[in-house]
Structure 1
Amino acid sequence: MYKVDTPTTDEEFDKYFQFRWLMLRKPWNYPIGSEKDEYEQVGIHRMVVNANGDVIAIGRLHFNTPEEAQIRHIAVHPDYHGKGLGKLVVSALEGVARNQGIERIVTNSREISTPFFKSCGFEVVGEATTELGQLKREQMVKKLTELNAVMLHPKWCKELQDTWYETIPISEQMGIKLYQYTGRTLEVRASLNKNINLHGTMFAGSIFSLATLSGWGMLFLQMKEKNLSGEIVLGDADIHYHKPISLQPRAICNIESVSGKFEQLAKGRKSPFKLQVDIHDGHNPVAEFKGVYWVLPPTEEQQ
């Protein structure tokens, strides 16, 4: 699993800026040093490194006004495209902005990057000044609201939540709610009070239902990411309980645990997917759910 780090040492900053130059300036024949600007000393810098310590993704945030922050220099190594690292960095920078009470984040996106920023919740509001004197850019804005505070794709997340409540009404009675989606991690929570047994802990069956819906939800959102559709059904499942839940039921599914072939769906074929959902009581791990789901391609009536 990848995590976002903050460069602190001179060596880390050297690697960080070298990567920025390689990804964002060298392709346009700009010299070393052109990757820096006047905001470096006051900017918020984030990066992702691989197991070898090599920088593979970066991004920076700086504040324009007490209400507005700007994201710049998002870059991911080509070998790591498609792994959600760009969104991971944007999410980390956005978290800093929210903690500072920022109301909106802006970015000036190159045309090729506009779809990426749209997937992160930004909207195009006009044209921006050209970059390096030759690259056309669009000004994009994301207003920070409670709805998109923890959800990468708030519209998809709302659709998922509505689907649960409409097709499985008991999920609403259990207080099951989508808590966070980052593109790589889905967290779903449930109300303990609505699922409590005579021992003051959560029913085992309720834990199983929470895990099952979380795995289903991760596949639902991943299919949205890939512009695919189909019917998701649980084929097999196994859960191991270690401790009871007596505080806050949390189900967490990470994209690294998901295995399956989405390209089969694109070809109109059904495909099995395996995944794991970790159950926590607050911050304490208490159970693991492993499920096998089948995704069936849509019928002609559904298309």
Structure 2
Amino acid sequence: MFKVDTPNTDEDFAKYFHFRWVMLRKPWNYPEGSEKDEYEQVGLHRMVTNTDGEVIAIGRLHFNTPEEAQIRHIAVHPDYHGKGLGKLVVSALEGVARSQGIERIVTNSREVSTPFFKSCGFEVVGEATTELGQLKREQMVKKLTELNAVMLHPKWCKALQDTWYETIPISEQMGIKLYQYTGRTLEVRASLNKNINLHGTMFAGSIFSLATLTGWGMLYLQLKEKQLDGEIVLGDADIHYHKPVSMQPRALCNIESVSGKFDTLAKGKKSPFKLVVELHDGHNAVAEFRGVYWILPPADEKE
């Protein structure tokens, strides 16, 4: 599973800016250094690296006013296109903006990137100044609301949230809430205050429940994606706790961890699915859940 990090060291920033130059300036024969602007010192930088420590995706956020933030320099290595890394970076930057009470995010998008930003919830509001003196750009805006924190299929996500609360009422009491769905990654959060033990950390059972619902939710949304119906049940699970949760409980399930055959379900047969949910306390990994779920076809389709 890929994770968004903040560059901290001189080495981190050297790799970060070199990647930005290679992806966004070198193709137009601009020298190294041209990738930087006057907002670098006040900007909030994020990057994704692979297992070899190589930068494969980046992005930056800076604040224009107390109400408005701007996203710039989103780039993903061509070898990693289609894995949702661009949305992962935008989501991380958007999360920072929301935490600061920002009401809207703007970006000036090249025409080729406009569909990507539209998929992240941005709307075109006009033309922007050209980039590098030759690249036409469009000004795009996303007004931040509670609902559109979910980037993809907000109606499905609301239906999932409602299903949890209606069928498992204690999930609402635990403050379990779908935070975002990008199509590739589902993030669910819970309230620490509603699940706190005498040590000031989250109950292990609450962590397990958060992970179980996150895995269940990923399969629910994948059924929607594939226009299938089915009943999802947990068959087996294993969880390893590494550290306590003392700040912000977060559960993330990535589509790459999901294995199973939806075509078997489409034929009216039950099918097992395995997946992994990573539990985080803020940005720190604290536990790993491995679940085996069964998806049963609707009653009228069972053999």
Q: Say whether the fold is shared (TM-score over 0.5).
A: yes
1:94 alignment partner in structure 2: 94
Distance 1:58 1:284 in 2: 21
| Aligned 1:1-303 pairs, distance under 5 A | 1-149=1-149, 151-153=150-152, 154-164=154-164, 168=167, 177-181=176-180, 183=182, 184-187=185-188, 189=190, 212-222=212-222, 227-232=225-230, 233-234=232-233, 236-238=235-237, 252-255=251-254, 258-260=257-259, 272-277=272-277, 288=289, 290-294=291-295
Distance 1:124 1:67 in 2: 19
Asked if the contact 2:107/2:141 (under 8 Å) is kept, the reply is yes
Distance 2:115 2:296 in 1: 26
2:198 alignment partner in structure 1: none
Letter in 2 for 1:6: T
2:199 alignment partner in structure 1: none
Helix, strand or coil at the partner of 2:40: coil
Distance 1:9 1:241 in 2: 31
Deviation of 1:9 (Å)? 3.2
Asked if the contact 1:174/1:191 (under 8 Å) is kept, the reply is no
Helix, strand or coil at the partner of 1:236: strand
Asked if the contact 1:258/1:273 (under 8 Å) is kept, the reply is no
Asked if the contact 1:257/1:276 (under 8 Å) is kept, the reply is no
Letter in 2 for 1:187: V
Helix, strand or coil at the partner of 2:4: coil
Asked if the contact 2:157/2:181 (under 8 Å) is kept, the reply is no
Letter in 1 for 2:229: E
Cα 1:126–1:57 shift into 2, 3 Å: same
Distance 1:279 1:5 in 2: 16
Deviation of 1:42 (Å)? 2.5
Deviation of 1:32 (Å)? 2.8
Helix, strand or coil at the partner of 1:218: helix
Distance 1:235 1:124 in 2: 43
TM-score scaled by structure 1?
0.72
Helix, strand or coil at the partner of 2:18: helix
Letter in 1 for 2:131: E
TM-score scaled by structure 2?
0.72
- TM-superposition CA deviations, 1:125-160 (whole Å, max 9, x none): 2332333333332221112223345x3344432132
Asked if the contact 2:274/2:290 (under 8 Å) is kept, the reply is no
Helix, strand or coil at the partner of 1:83: coil
Distance 2:12 2:240 in 1: 42
Asked if the contact 1:106/1:140 (under 8 Å) is kept, the reply is yes
Give the aligned length. Answer: 287
Helix, strand or coil at the partner of 1:91: helix
Asked if the contact 1:215/1:291 (under 8 Å) is kept, the reply is no
Deviation of 1:254 (Å)? 2.1
Deviation of 1:41 (Å)? 2.7
Deviation of 1:163 (Å)? 4.2
Deviation of 1:260 (Å)? 2.4
Task: Name structure 1 gaps, 5 residues minimum.
Answer: 195-200
Distance 2:237 2:43 in 1: 47
